[in-house]
Structure 1
Amino acid sequence: MEQTTPTIRQSEDSRSEPFENDTKSETVAESTPQPPSDAHPAPSNSPSHPPSTSAELYNMAAHTASKKKGTASAVKKTSKRSKKTGGPRAAKRAKPARSGSTGDAHESAGSELEESDHGPYCLCRGADDHRWMICCENCEDWFHGECINMNKEIGENLIEKFICPLCTNESLTTLYKKTCALGGCRKAARIAQEEKSVFCSNEHAQTWWERMVAKLPKAKGKGGVNDQLTQEEFMALLQGGLSGTDEEGLWRLVKAPFAGKESNGTNGTEKENPDQMHLSAEEKEYLENAAAARFHLAEETVLCHKMLALLEFAHKRRQAAITAGRFKEDICGYDQRLDSISARDAFEAFAKSPEGEAIFKASQLSDPLGEGDEVRGMCERKRCKIHSGWYKMLSLGLKHQIREMATQADEVGEEEKAMRQAAKDRWRRKQSEKNWVEVLDG
């Protein structure tokens, strides 16, 4: 009997050791956030230890680790372009598919926590240090938002296609989405959906209208002399059918008279009518003359620019002669080939001559005889009164003439536009009245 007692105590102690180890390991796993692989209970060598207890603790630890790992993804909504934001480590975690078994989830969670990506990335050539990053669509390199001066909110919501500063050129650049029209909102507008809107949601559209209406006065002033709409008048306009969209899709308080779909007046089919159906014979003749006048002004403008170019060539030749020591600062330096600048026809003939074509092709004035003399053909008098201030005077006159012709061309263009619009309105009125005559072949 005395020999059997220690044996029983030893077996009881050996049975209690696994439970104590399990309790300690569970306490450590709950107190410190360790990976699921470190939270496994110590294996028991005793055959009397129940196998179900160890399996239950393993499942609980794996479930707790997977729950902690998935908390961020459950709370934060993934953006449409989640693969290109967040960082290279987040992009690598998004590639493998999630497994349904607990053991696969435990192994993937352990591999993600043990993974270390030191780069180099970004302009700073640093590592993925858990700061927000975005991927370039061209070079597929990752960049920290702080290094490229980009906010995380803008990068996740308003970037359609990101091109890094190293890849940006005339043909490649970052594309942004249209921002919500509500002030302060940094979300994309719904312009790519079936029901297009400049707001990101119906709530923001309602808020925008409420703010706009709230800016209007609630009632007229004391004197009653105020042309600003009140809130009641504005709402009445919206509900009365007087407002609507124009041809360009913009909202207007009052529709254009006779606005609507046009027809050709014969079979009622809707189509855009050419100007030949809108304009009368007198209007066509006027528009032809106006177009000819604008063309003539354009030709004169081209000649004036050539005159300015020839004037610059003469000024550069004088400066080159002064630099070479052939002239002093008080020498006139007027080139005799500038005499045709003030006369339009004479200059046009000079520009079309072989000498003029050679000058404008070479973009410089040289010796008229072609012998390489730097000062031949230039006025060599000191303080010349005849050509005093020739460069400044001629350049100012030509620039003023160019501005005057541009103003005249704009006026003629506005007159043409007004006549075409009046003819179009007249056509719309006739179409709305439906007072045309149809000829039926018998």
Structure 2
Amino acid sequence: MAGSSFAAKKKKGTASAVKKTPKRPKSVRDPKQPKSARSTAGSEANSTAAEDASDEDDESDNGPYCICRGPDDHRWMICCERCEDWFHGECVHIGKDVGESLIEKFICPNCTTDNLVTIYKKTCTLGSCRKAARLTQSPPSVFCSDEHAQIWWERMLTRLPKARAKAALSDELSQEEFMALLSSDLATIDGDGSWTLRAPFSGKPSEVNGDVTEEEKEYLDRKANARFKLAEETLLCQKMITLVEMVQERRRAAISAGRIAEDICGYDHRLDSICARDAFAAFVKSPEGEVIFQASKVDDPLGEGDEVRGMCERKRCKIHSGWHKMLLLAVKHQIKEMADQAAEVGEDERILREAAEERWRRRQAERNWVEVIEE
């Protein structure tokens, strides 16, 4: 089990590790012959039937294990960290996906006390995701992946009201205000498209604004507008990633429902505008695009609930081969390019502001003099 303390224990016939040898003594016997050898043994097999039956009782796979004291019938099992006994997941109400991904330390019902309980990992903050958050990585994250972090941010942004719909006395940020905040000096965009926001007024107060010339102010305004546009385009790229993931989720749901096979392409025609920013921006503002991003779900384009309508249903489609991976890589490359451009713009602003600050310091030093008056 990934990340769990019992991941190294290998268990025969299950996804977990081999059960430890039962504490009761085992009779010493020869290895079992293959079925073909036993079938040709004839009367010899009949003469040793009783002995074989006795040996079968001593097989480790026949238990007893679990609270049901049953055998290992090749159902998924999990090991208790205290008593080291094995338990069927069904008997302790733990699914295989949860046991292998989200349990840090399993304590069986027999060993559970007020101070000794099963320890679970924190799940990804994105709703419906059953994977563990990357709390132990550097830097730590409450999401299982960067993609889920961006999807969560995207969903949070769509919940904000637009400026024209915002109540006059509401203190809730609108989408436009939030975008302006991202484009300010308080926010930075990393190479992977993630957003970092520092607390306002946490830095030293700026005392050099009065020392910036009108020409420099115009220059800084142009740079600020350039960063704002890059932030808007980055947000648009995040919506592209969200749409690709939603189409992939619909394809997986159709496979799970038995509507299509694993080798079906599943490409959706609504992905045609991915990487074309103007065309995709028009799609986002269209009625269909607004419905998709508000519901965070790609559905039947005709609205009749068909699980596969709009998908490419070719087997091993060569036209759209590897569409999911290729589209994500293309969009992330665009995000990285815009992040590099934003870094260049920010560097230009930093150089100008440092020059203005140095001028301000020199002027302050020039005023720092003492006049000595002789008596």
Normalised by the length of structure 1, the TM-score is: 0.36
Bigger helix fraction: 1
Higher relative contact order (CA 8 A, sep 6+): 2
Q: TM-score, normalised by structure 2?
A: 0.42
Over alpha carbons, which structure has the higher Rg?
1
